[in-house]
Structure 1
């Protein structure tokens, strides 16, 4: 891809940024070239990032008066992510089996089952490609067969610094998955947590996996949301709501342990002795010197006593864990992992570069990273039992939209972590429709090359210098100029607010407003903006009235950085708790599940008690606890970027009133507005999402194809229609069995040419079966056969008592059948009758001494004591029978017992925004159409044909036909079921183009029909595929 630079016209425009489906690997991308129109290029965009050297960073000098770092001559350079690009190619080869002929070679059976579920095209809620790729990359690095990993560069480890090493810290394996905001990182954590736990349960001695998971996140908001990753929640957990784990695996999953903590929980605590006296009084624990009032005249050094490392680990496990995990090692997920870094030594403490003049932010970042990483180091040192060479972390997985070094890290700001292994960045997310499309200013009446409000802070600086107002930007000076772009953008906000309000009224719902965010440089500026917008003060022009707070009507809130820190740490102050509930409920018309949080109810009771005793001006208003406090918020004024993990999807406008020192910071701020509201695909057959947009002023975010043309927001989303079974139409009810698989019935003769069975000799001289042991007695340390002490003898004698010949034959037959399936395909010959025949052959083999030769004291069960012998026996039997199968079989369906094996139209109950058609001979109230005409025409034909007694469209019905596609288990959903007057139950598929996929599904349906009719317990069934809707009437005439 050509290097990307900002053209003279500002950010480049593209007609339609969404060009890929969110559910498939991107197949095209926008190629952006300097001073040229974007070109749609074939193939996926190579993974890369853009780096701009911050001003004066290379000199390491203090900057007394920081300037904006995006000068017109400073252009970012594109740096490829070579490791990511190589892994993409290897992952695709592994996925398709290019090197070994088998997809996902090396993956365990559990992993294959999960992959089949995740990639199934018949899921009710499909996973995004970004999620599948991130998870598959970790699976590849862990399980892929050697041919796929050969030649890859060695992945860098997270090496501790010299000081940390001196304290016992050791490196650990770390992978980073770069995923843009809104692409579903939480789901990826769930996928990988389930993968590790289930594999560990299946193979307890496989140290590649662990059943102890720790998820570390930046704040309480994310921590609370991540609780859905606790397997103990069962069907309410993410593993079931997002179909990440098969239902029958949930009991195994609950045997694992998932701990969730914000980084603050990883800090060491002061110890306490008996009677709860402070540790520094009784002096127990590890002493640590702490400087108070550093740099001031009253600077003092205080000694605190903190818990030991082992006491810390024990406390963490007790506070966070359930104790169910049995593995020695842990797997850690770092959510928003750009906060978890080791401080580099690039800058001397006395030579910090003031990138954004945010020294407080740098200090906060450094403390957070220190606590976070030190916690991981303690786990790595101690969780494995503290044994030499045994690490406590089997792997650490980072997830972040921006896994780059941040300010205060001591590393090169804006450089990615060296262990980034996958990348689905913002450009990919925009082109796949996973996020809102950011819209930024490109031109205005000024005639300048760059629109003024593209970078408000720099524009204000230039204006102040031109006016002779100096270079110090006070809040008053900033507001003098910034009020205009705020008003301009706020007016656009109001237009959208009116549209949303009218839409809500038509739906008879309480309107939830779009959200307008102002991100300020510091608290002083935030106070000035708040006084102007929320209180009508300041004299900076007439503030938009719709952001004005009034008694009992709070529509604008101010969130300072200290408040954000307190919220992230789970502060208990009433105001902190109130603001956290506001942020958590923005965009939500009701509480989830209509359940009022207890903490919120408590705050409301306190407030309402004050209202009852208010004898002054009566400004306090009674609050209804049933209404989420963030429901009616329209404007947020913040110094920080707002809480990370904040999942509000109603943000539509952002104004940046601060300098931006890196594209990393720009992406983090813009990311607050990029979460989509709707994930319904368009109805044009493209499998793409409709466009959603966000307008941004003052955040100079570059290097993406922006939309700038004024467009309508798209057609109004229709009100979801309720589709359900009508009790009064019970005569049209259709019941059907649910088949999960097939079992053979009949006989399968295996013709084994006994003359072709090779001889297998068990020879103790080749593979010894008895071993004598002795002590180390000679002075030089050599073994002596005649030394003193016991000389134990180890043999197979005791081991042989565990095996009978029948068990040995069973193991041999099982291995032969496994090889058969690998060589011929799982469905080539039904395995159950094959096994019975092979078992007989194996029994004969064990008893025939011309084929199985036993030397010395060898016994037949010794076959299982040596893989060499086992494989020799398996392959000689396989070669003798592989062409002797004579199949004369019937297949019977596997139908689960109870309700899980029965489906019915009576269970249909869902909502849809798709077009509907009226129905007559159908149990439901309407039919939802997935096509423009075909299904509607077919439904009409079924309704009017006299031979059709009842019918239903297979939508949310649960009627699935199991089949295999490219070695993965899949489910086919035919279009219709109809019951005819002659008793025939007809499965109908309407398909305009008959292709390979249609052929596979048709054969799967025919197999289903044959098995069902063979069973004979659910009536007669038939399957038809119609390639022209009008022909359906003629087909019905023929079958009747």
Structure 2
């Protein structure tokens, strides 16, 4: 019976019983497969590949070489490029490769530790809510809308794609395909489509049907938006709003206008906090970075010792904030955890504002204003969605919670006027507080 046992069966038994007491594989602690360098395995520390046998296919050979082509570092050099890295590929069947290139190991880039200075600067700590969603109380009767410049939606080829495509085969006549099929689109039909989309997807309660009794009211709002706030450039056409992605962008503009008008009367929006981690704080900031674009903070203005900037504009704002007398504290939202949920078209996204600034706007030291600041050079369509989410949902919802203080939002788009614009924003908010106090008295 023992004659039927060969090395293959013994090896199979060992592999099937690895780590099992009293079996052949009892003493085996590590198994390495000879096929680890094929697809499905990834390691960026491979620097040498030595072939000792021929491969069955050229594709498998290329896959093995590809395992050694993973970069070890993705840090950019002074010229904004990836530094050169080499991998030596030797042996059969790699005789066709070039001679080995000696690549000296690159020293790691110098890094710094960014942390909250505790307990020396704990008085400058900033706390904020971690919002994961919103809940809106829908109106039962008449609704209105207040449109602003952010309600404008501009259809351009950059947003919707090319409007004219040339179809040319190997032989035959070339044909230009355009948007002629949309020429007959009526504005009233499009308003009907947007209204139905709004009532079916946005203006309905959970587990409830659409509020069809609001159809006529909402259709009038959609028609007003189509007339005054939709612009078509570069041969685009209003009929492209029948595409769901673009229709949802339009619906977000209209919804923001309705909520803006509603919030002027009373706050109906609520925020949903992260149930496991509802509050974020500068107390927990502690990380290392190799980024060289950083700003040393004033110990009288910031809880964190360094601000990691993404642009010179942000460094300029740090200087502006530290020199304004009404600024109590500020922090950059880098590894801080402040995220604002919003929708861009049909997609759910997270927006990370740039700064949080604590401001004494006249309510006293116990009731400071938390001003969320965004530094924006180019303002695209997504910036309008972010601002609408902040002003229509996040800020009023957090204010309504009551235990995170008062919040506001400001956006600065001109680096040369940033200091004056920031001062004007703070004075405007101080005047609002002063005016309210005078009216109450």
Provide Cα deviations, 1:746-776, integer angstroms capped at 9, x if missing partner: 743069xxxxxxxxxxxxxxxxxxxxxxxxx
Partner Cα distance (2:17, 2:111) in 1: 38
2:47 maps to which residue?
652
2:278 maps to which residue?
901
Provide Cα deviations, 1:254-312, integer angstroms capped at 9, x if missing partner: xxxxxxxxxxxxxxxxxxxxxxxxxx9xxxxxxxxx99389xxxxxxxxxxxxxxxxxx
- TM-score normalised by length of structure 2: 0.58
Provide Cα deviations, 1:893-912, integer angstroms capped at 9, x if missing partner: 32437662222111223332
Partner Cα distance (1:721, 1:670) in 2: 36
Partner Cα distance (1:924, 1:693) in 2: 39
The alpha carbon displacement at 1:574 in A equals: 8.6
Partner Cα distance (1:647, 1:951) in 2: 42
Check conservation: 1:744, 1:833, Cα contact below 8 A: no
1:3 maps to which residue?
none
Question: Which of 316, 327, 334 is 1:937 aligned to?
Answer: 316
Closer, same or farther: CA 576–836 of 1 in aligned 2, 3 Å: closer
Partner Cα distance (1:685, 1:836) in 2: 58
2:335 maps to which residue?
956
Task: Note if 1:927 corresponds to 2:307.
Answer: yes
1:1003 maps to which residue?
388
1:385 maps to which residue?
none
1:733 maps to which residue?
125
Check conservation: 2:116, 2:282, Cα contact below 8 A: yes
1:577 maps to which residue?
28
2:88 maps to which residue?
695
The alpha carbon displacement at 1:738 in A equals: 2.3
The alpha carbon displacement at 1:647 in A equals: 5.3
Check conservation: 2:129, 2:398, Cα contact below 8 A: no
Alignment of 1:392-541 (within 5 A): none
2:357 maps to which residue?
978
Task: Note if 1:989 corresponds to 2:374.
Answer: yes
Closer, same or farther: CA 905–707 of 1 in aligned 2, 3 Å: farther
Check conservation: 1:953, 1:977, Cα contact below 8 A: yes
2:186 maps to which residue?
none
Provide Cα deviations, 1:950-975, integer angstroms capped at 9, x if missing partner: 01111121111110123121110011
1:918 maps to which residue?
296
For residue 131 of structure 2, give the secondary structure of its aligned residue in structure 1: coil
Check conservation: 2:130, 2:274, Cα contact below 8 A: no
Task: Note if 1:966 corresponds to 2:345.
Answer: yes
- 5+ long unaligned stretches in structure 2: 144-192, 222-257, 362-367, 427-441
Partner Cα distance (1:1003, 1:1011) in 2: 13
Task: Note if 1:723 corresponds to 2:114.
Answer: yes
For residue 698 of structure 1, give the secondary structure of its aligned residue in structure 2: strand
Partner Cα distance (1:977, 1:952) in 2: 6
Check conservation: 1:567, 1:576, Cα contact below 8 A: no
Partner Cα distance (1:660, 1:947) in 2: 71
The alpha carbon displacement at 1:741 in A equals: 2.5
Alignment of 1:184-195 (within 5 A): none
Closer, same or farther: CA 991–714 of 1 in aligned 2, 3 Å: farther
Check conservation: 1:978, 1:986, Cα contact below 8 A: yes
Closer, same or farther: CA 936–712 of 1 in aligned 2, 3 Å: farther
Closer, same or farther: CA 570–724 of 1 in aligned 2, 3 Å: farther
2:166 maps to which residue?
none
1:1027 maps to which residue?
413
Check conservation: 2:331, 2:356, Cα contact below 8 A: yes
The alpha carbon displacement at 1:1039 in A equals: 2.2
Partner Cα distance (1:833, 1:820) in 2: 20
The alpha carbon displacement at 1:652 in A equals: 0.3
Q: How many residues align?
A: 317
Partner Cα distance (1:998, 1:822) in 2: 26
- 5+ long unaligned stretches in structure 1: 1-279, 281-289, 295-359, 368-561, 584-637, 752-818, 839-877
Partner Cα distance (1:835, 1:975) in 2: 38
1:824 maps to which residue?
198
Partner Cα distance (1:676, 1:743) in 2: 45
Question: Which of 740, 743, 751 is 2:135 aligned to?
Answer: 743
Partner Cα distance (1:568, 1:642) in 2: 17
Closer, same or farther: CA 906–701 of 1 in aligned 2, 3 Å: same
- TM-score normalised by length of structure 1: 0.27
The alpha carbon displacement at 1:945 in A equals: 2.6
Closer, same or farther: CA 667–976 of 1 in aligned 2, 3 Å: same
Closer, same or farther: CA 708–954 of 1 in aligned 2, 3 Å: farther
Partner Cα distance (2:202, 2:142) in 1: 14
For residue 882 of structure 1, give the secondary structure of its aligned residue in structure 2: helix
Alignment of 1:285-300 (within 5 A): 292=4
For residue 317 of structure 2, give the secondary structure of its aligned residue in structure 1: helix
Partner Cα distance (1:910, 1:732) in 2: 19
1:11 maps to which residue?
none
1:351 maps to which residue?
none
Partner Cα distance (1:941, 1:735) in 2: 22
For residue 731 of structure 1, give the secondary structure of its aligned residue in structure 2: helix
1:662 maps to which residue?
57
Looking at CA atoms only, which structure, 1 or 2, has the larger radius of gyration? 1
Check conservation: 1:739, 1:893, Cα contact below 8 A: no
| Farther off after superposition, 1026-1035 or 887-896 | 887-896
For residue 748 of structure 1, give the secondary structure of its aligned residue in structure 2: coil
Check conservation: 2:342, 2:386, Cα contact below 8 A: yes
For residue 423 of structure 2, give the secondary structure of its aligned residue in structure 1: helix
Provide Cα deviations, 1:189-248, integer angstroms capped at 9, x if missing partner: xxxxxxxxxxxxxxxxxxxxxxxxxxxxxxxxxxxxxxxxxxxxxxxxxxxxxxxxxxxx
Alignment of 1:546-695 (within 5 A): 569=16, 571=18, 577=28, 580=31, 640-641=34-35, 648-678=43-73, 680=74, 682=76, 692-695=85-88
What's the C-alpha RMSD, in Å, of the aligned pairs? 4.6
Alignment of 1:852-931 (within 5 A): 878=212, 881-885=214-218, 889=262, 890-896=267-273, 900-915=277-292, 916-920=294-298, 921-931=301-311
Closer, same or farther: CA 934–659 of 1 in aligned 2, 3 Å: same
Check conservation: 2:199, 2:210, Cα contact below 8 A: no
